[in-house]
Amino acid sequence: MSARPALVVLGPTASGKSDVAMEFARRHRGTEIVAIDAMQVYTGMDIGTATPTAADRAEVPHHGLDLATPDSDFAVAEFVRVVGEALADIERRGARPLLVAGTGLYLRAVTDPMEMPGQWPEVRAALEAEAAELGPEPLFERLVAVDPVAASRMEPSNTRRIVRALEVVQGSGRAFSSFGPGLDHYPPVPFVQVGLRWPRELLALRIEERVHRMVAGGLVAEVEALLAGPGLSRTAGQALGYKEIVDHLEGRCSLDEAVDTIVLRTRQFAVRQERWFRRDPRVRWVDVEHDPVAEVLPVLEEISA
């Protein structure tokens, strides 16, 4: 890493972090934006994920976008690999990266050194079958026996995490917990992070407005096009705003009901993002109430100096 730390703007969905980043990049040539977002990685999922527009991408170099087709599975490790290369390239050409982050785990995996265990699909399939038949308890007991540290970091009822940990233990022959210190360690890293923090009611209003703008802007047609193509993968199919419109298009609910559900789930998602980010003591928080660009840009510029 160079002497200049990389910049990070983070915050919940609809907080205005992309606008802040664009304005910063306009004022500081040589800035390149790196999107840290688990859903903007898919091609053709632009409206519902609020992917930066073609105009923005023509004006400022963007990275982290369009890394996979919507019918393919995508995961953290691949993201870290791609973004790691992008960051190295940016450094090499003497530019400065500005990360715009909405996905907490993806950001941690980029900023903090994490050794990602591999995948053992056949092991996982067997464990999942076992969990479906017997429930999570026997698997949790086994995890307690083989890796008590990992077991202590998860709930006995969280089937998905237990299965993953056992998959790694059986597949790698190493303890799952040996792959890193866990997420509750926050060592110094060469990234300076600014977080946007809105009063919850105001952010809820912005989310509602934005969802309606997405629908007016062609979200339904975008989903129809995706369904007409090869379809959505397990991971892409989880995107908020897409699964609900699919429900509507397949006749399970009205458009109004789908929109209401999107708004509700997006608000809940934003809270989950806040809860993830606010644990990190390295983040400098900026309270925003009106204009994210006007209120956050000065802090970002101060911190970037």
Interacting residues toward RNA by CB under 7 A = 13, 37-40, 48-50, 73-78, 102-106, 114-119, 128, 150, 153-155, 157-161, 163-165, 168, 176-177, 179-184, 200, 234-235, 238-241, 264-269, 271-273, 275-276, 278-279
Q: How many CA atoms lie within 13 A of 123 on its CB side?
A: 15
What amino acid occupies position 26?
Answer: R
Q: How far is the CB of 50 from RNA (least distance, A)?
A: 6
Q: How far is the CB of 75 from RNA (least distance, A)?
A: 4
Contact between 176 and 169 (Cβ < 8 Å): yes
Distance (Å, whole) CA 194 – CA 284? 5
Q: How far is the CB of 305 from RNA (least distance, A)?
A: 30
Distance (Å, whole) CA 63 – CA 97? 9
Question: In terms of CB distance, is 264 or 299 closer to RNA?
Answer: 264
Contacts of 224 (CB under 8 A, 6+ apart): 249
Contact between 249 and 227 (Cβ < 8 Å): yes
Contact between 99 and 11 (Cβ < 8 Å): no
Closest CA to 105 of 258, 225, 270, 273: 273
Closest CA to 194 of 64, 300, 37: 300
Question: In terms of CB distance, is 252 or 275 closer to RNA?
Answer: 275
Question: In terms of CB distance, is 13 or 15 closer to RNA?
Answer: 13
Closest CA to 292 of 15, 13, 60, 7: 15
Q: How far is the CB of 181 from RNA (least distance, A)?
A: 5
Question: In terms of CB distance, is 95 or 144 closer to RNA?
Answer: 144
Question: In terms of CB distance, is 96 or 244 closer to RNA?
Answer: 244
Q: How far is the CB of 32 from RNA (least distance, A)?
A: 20
Question: In terms of CB distance, is 52 or 96 closer to RNA?
Answer: 52
Question: In terms of CB distance, is 181 or 190 closer to RNA?
Answer: 181
Q: How far is the CB of 94 from RNA (least distance, A)?
A: 30
Starting at the edge strand found earlier in the chain, the sheet holding 191-197 runs 62-63, 31-36, 96-101, 6-10, 191-197, 283-287
Q: How far is the CB of 159 from RNA (least distance, A)?
A: 6
